[in-house]
Amino acid sequence: MLSGKVAVVTGAAGGIGAAVVERFVAEGARVIAVDVADQLPDRAGVLTITGDVAEAAIWRRVADTARAEFGRLDVVHSNASVTVRAPAHELSERDWDRQIAVNLKATYLAVHECVGLLREAGGAVVLSSSVHAVVGLPGHPAYAAAKGGLVALGRQLAVEYGPHVRVNTVLPGPILTSAWDDVSEADRVRSVAATAAGRFGRPSEVAAAVTFLASDESSYITGACLVVDGGWTAMKDSA
């Protein structure tokens, strides 16, 4: 599905990012994997960059690397994320700013530095938002604001850069990654019970949606949101 394409994946050391890298490589892409953590995938077809996606310098490095190493850039998957759980009155200004920077501003920086290459390639951008963009859950004010912002930004970028670049957004629901490590067993059980699928999603199931949106199989889809949540947003247990 991605034969001959060059893709950037951020948050590539995390659960979903690593699954996307694996799937992209399996589909024939060459990948630049970016993460602030240094446990990046060490495998053929993957070039790694360690750095902070909230800094413009890392995106200049990504664009320079894509140009120098591959002469093109077809796909940007903006997926890195941080979460600090606290209601607004307890959330520090520093933690608010950090979450907005990593979860939202990074996509602006990505496009600012990479859109020239994406236009040349007729490329695709896939953003990782969340069901938090459309449903309120206590303790996530900055995360939800950033993820809601990504939905609007994705639409905006699709309009701005069409027809050359397509931009779409995935909204994952409960996907079992290390992001759930500090969630209690009781809360995990409640989350699973709130899905029509009756289980957590797997990172590979989000990767499948991202791969579709990154590939020419979705050539007439842009400015769209794809919810990947096992029916979590569709389901309510009260009238």
Ligand X SMILES: NC(=O)c1ccc[n+]([C@@H]2O[C@H](COP(=O)([O-])OP(=O)(O)OC[C@H]3O[C@@H](n4cnc5c(N)ncnc54)[C@H](O)[C@@H]3O)[C@@H](O)[C@H]2O)c1
Tell me the catalytic residues.
Answer: 143
Which residue type, as a one-letter code, is found at position 174? Answer: P
For the chain, the residue count is 239
Cβ-closest position to ligand X: 14
Please tell me the distance from the alpha carbon of residue 231 to that of residue 192, in angstroms, as a whole number. Answer: 10
Question: Token pair for residue 51?
Answer: 């750095």
Report how many residues bind ligand X under the rule CB under 6 A.
26
- If one asks whether residue 154 binds ligand X (CB under 6 A), the answer comes out as no
- If one asks whether residue 210 binds ligand X (CB under 6 A), the answer comes out as no
Restricting to residues 93-132, name those near ligand X by CB under 6 A. Answer: 102, 128, 130
Restricting to residues 37-66, name those near ligand X by CB under 6 A. Answer: 37, 52-54
Residue 199: name the closest of 231, 172, 177, 225 by CA. 231
- If one asks whether residue 35 binds ligand X (CB under 6 A), the answer comes out as yes
- If one asks whether residue 10 binds ligand X (CB under 6 A), the answer comes out as yes
- Under DSSP, is residue 56 helix (H, G, I), strand (E, B) or coil? helix
* Alpha helices, H only, 77-182: 93-100, 106-121, 141-161
- If one asks whether residue 230 binds ligand X (CB under 6 A), the answer comes out as no
- If one asks whether residue 224 binds ligand X (CB under 6 A), the answer comes out as no
Please tell me the distance from the alpha carbon of residue 203 to that of residue 89, in angstroms, as a whole number. Answer: 33
Of 79 and 211, CB closest to ligand X: 79
By CB under 6 A, name the binding residues for ligand X.
10-11, 13-17, 35-37, 52-54, 79-82, 102, 128, 130, 172, 174-175, 177-179
